[in-house]
Structure 1
C-alpha cells in the first residue's frame, strides 16, 4: 500500500471520528419517520440488495432489523456462501461510511480501534482512528483473531465509543458491526468471548443456495461483481429517522412481561440463559418488526418472530444434544401469552 493511500485512509477515518461528535444535535434530535415510510425504506434497501444477493430476502431483512434496532449482527456459516457480499451490499445501499477489518491471528487491538502516533513536526501525539470509526464495520472472519483482539470491540459495540490512552471518542451515528464467523475450522479459530457474543443483537446463517439460485448467481457474477455497482438508495439521515420511528413504538406492559418470562425460562432450563441485554435486544427488534408491519405498537407475534435469532446464541446448555435454539423454541411453546 502506498503512503498516499495510507494517508487517504487515515483522513477518511479522521473525518469519521470528527463526525462522531456526541454533542452534535443531529444525534439526539432527529424527527422520526412515519412507520409506513420506515417500512418503505426497508423494502427499498432490500430490493436494492437483492440485485446482488439471490434468494436471501430473510437474511437481508435480518440485517436491516438489526441496524434499525441499534444493534450488531453475527453471520456464521461455511466459507463462500456470501456473508461478506451481504454486508457490503447492505452498506453500499445506504450512503454511509464503511470499513472492513480482516481478522487474523496477528491482528492487534490498536489495528481495530486506532493508535496514537508521535508527530515529529508538532512534538505531540496524533490519534489515527482505526477502521472501527465508520457507520458500518465489517469484521470478516472475526473468530480468526485471538480473544484479546476481539475484545477491542466490546466498548464500541455496547457504548458506541472507543477509549485509547485514557481519551474517549464517540463513534459515528449510526454505528453497526456486521461480523462473519467461519464455523468449519475449529482448530484454526478462537471461540468468541461470551461477553462479545451477548453484544450481537442477532446471529444468523445463510445456508447454501438452491440450484436455480446458484445458477443465477453464476450468471450475475461472470465479469465484474455486481456488488461493485450497487448504488445507495438511502442516507444516514434516513436511517437515523427510521431508528427514531422504531424507538417511538409502544411496548405495553404485558408484552414486556412476556419477554421477561421468556428470558427467565431460558435461565431455568440452561447453564447460561438470556441476559437482560438480550431481553432489551428482543424488545428493540420486536419494535422494528412492528414498524415493518405498519404498526406503532408491539404485539406478541413480533416477539415470537424475532426470538430465535435474537436469543438462541446467548444460551449455553449442558447437554450436547440440546442447543440454544432448542431452549428458545421450548420457551416459545411453554411460556403463555398473558
Structure 2
C-alpha cells in the first residue's frame, strides 16, 4: 500500500496563503499525533536500551529527517540491540547484514540471476531492499563493499547491471562499527562517513541501568518481547510533516556559521561539508516537531551539533598529537559562534504548539 505522499514530494513552500493540503496545515493539525507517535517509538527503544533516553530521541529524529545513523563503540555495549530495537518498534521490512572482509557489493544490493525456463535474467534483491537496514560492524568489510552503500543512502536507489531499482520508503541504515583501533577493521572513508546523518556512542551503562538489563534478560531477550508501535506508512507521513517545520533566516544563518567555522578551525584538516548543513537543519526540524513545536530554535541546533558534525571532521596532525577530539572541536565552535536571539528566531504568525 502506497502512502498519500512519500518523502521528497513534501517540501517547504514559499511564504503566502496556505492552500488546502499545505504541509504547514498538515503539520499544525497533526502535531499532536506526531508527538504521541514519536514518544511511543522512543519509549519502545528505551525499554530495551536502558538509561540512555538521548539515544532514542536522536535515533527517531534521524528517522524522521530521512537520514542514516552510525553507532560507534566498543563491542558488547548494545550497538546492535539499539539497531534491532528501532527496527522492531516500526512494523516494516527489516534487513540485516553482518559485514565481513569477504562480503561482496552484490551481497548487499542484489544480483541478476539467469532463469533457464524463461531465458531471461531476473533481479534478486539484496538486504538493502528493506525499510530498516542493520549493518553490523560495517568497518569490518572492505572499502569496495562499504562504498556499495553510497548510492543507496544518498539517492534511495540501487543500480545493478545498468538498471536502477528504487528502494522502499522509509529507508534507514543503522550501521554499527567498532573503533578503528580494533583488530581487523577498515576506517570508513570520508565520503561514507558524510552519508551518515549522525553518529552516536552507546557507552557503558550506569550501574542501575546494567542491573535493570540483567533483570530484563532473565527469562528472554527483551527484543523478542518488543511489539511494533507504529507503521512504515505512518512514519512516511510524519516525515513529510517535519519538512514543513519553520526555520527562520536567522536560524539557517546560524547553521551556516557553525559549519563554516569548522572549515576555518585551526584544529582541523577537513571541516564539515555543505551536506552537513542540510542534514543538521533537517534533524533540527525533526527535533523541534518531536517537542511539539512548529519552528526551529537555536537550542535544537546546539543539541544536535555534536552528533551531526563531529564524525565528518578530520583532525589536524597537531590536534591528534595533543589528544584532541572532534567532539571538543565542535564544542569549541559552538562556544565561539554567536547565537541568534529575540525576534530574529520568532515563529511565523499563526504557528502554535508547545514550546520545549
TM-score, normalized by length of structure 2? 0.86
2:100 paired residue number = 104
- Residue of structure 2 in register with 1:300 after alignment: 298
Moved over 4 A (4+): 29-33
C-alpha distance in structure 2 between counterparts of 1:115 and 1:123, whole Å: 16
Query: Counterparts of 1:1-338 in structure 2 under 5 Å?
Result: 26-27=5-6, 28=9, 32-33=26-27, 34-183=30-179, 185-269=181-265, 270-318=268-316, 319-320=319-320, 321-338=323-340
**Residues 98 and 137, structure 1, Cα contact 8 Å, conserved in 2:** yes
Conservation of the 8 A alpha-carbon contact between 2:5 and 2:240 = no
CA distance in 2, matches of 1:131, 1:113: 7
Q: Quote the offset at 1:327 in angstroms.
A: 1.6
Task: Give the Cα separation in 2 of the matches to 1:38 and 1:274.
Answer: 31
What is aligned with 2:345? none
Q: Distance in 1 between matches of 2:329 and 2:107?
A: 38
SS at match of 2:177: strand
Once the two structures are TM-superposed, the CA of residue 322 in structure 1 deviates from its matched residue by 2.3
Q: Secondary structure at the match of 1:198?
A: helix
Q: Report the alpha carbon displacement of residue 337 of structure 1 after superposing the two structures with TM.
A: 2.0
* 1:186 match: secondary structure: coil
Decide whether the 8 Å contact of 2:180 with 2:186 is kept in 1.
no
Q: Distance in 1 between matches of 2:139 and 2:45?
A: 26
Contact 2:5 2:237 in 1 (8 A): no
Cα distance, 1:181 vs structure 2: 0.3
What does the per-residue CA deviation read over 1:70-126, in whole Å, with 9 as the maximum and x for residues that have no partner? Answer: 100000001111111111111111111101000000000000000001111111111
Whole-angstrom CA distance in 2 between matches of 1:212 and 1:290 = 30
SS of the aligned residue for 2:41 comes to helix
Aligned to 2:348: none
Distance 1:174 1:252 in 2: 27
Q: Partners of 1:227 and 1:192 in 2: how far apart?
A: 29
Distance between the aligned counterparts of 2:204 and 2:165, measured in 1? 40
- The SS at the match of 2:183 is helix
Point out where structure 2 has 5 or more consecutive residues left out of the alignment. Answer: 11-20, 341-356
Deviations 1:245-293 (A, max 9, x none): 2100011111111111111100001211010100101000110111122
Once the 2 structures are TM-superposed, how far is the Cα of residue 184 of structure 1 from its aligned partner?
6.3
| Residues 263 and 272, structure 2, Cα contact 8 Å, conserved in 1 | yes
Residues in 2 aligned to 1:59 and 1:49: alpha-carbon distance in whole angstroms: 9
In angstroms, what is the RMSD of aligned CA positions? 1.6
Match of 2:315, SS state, is coil
Q: Measure the CA separation in 1 of the matches of 2:49 and 2:70.
A: 17
> How far does residue 135 in structure 1 lie from its aligned partner after superposition?
0.3
Distance in 1 (alpha carbons) for counterparts of 2:214 and 2:181:
26
Aligned to 1:5: none
Are the counterparts in 1 of residues 67 and 172 from structure 2 also a CA contact under 8 Å? yes
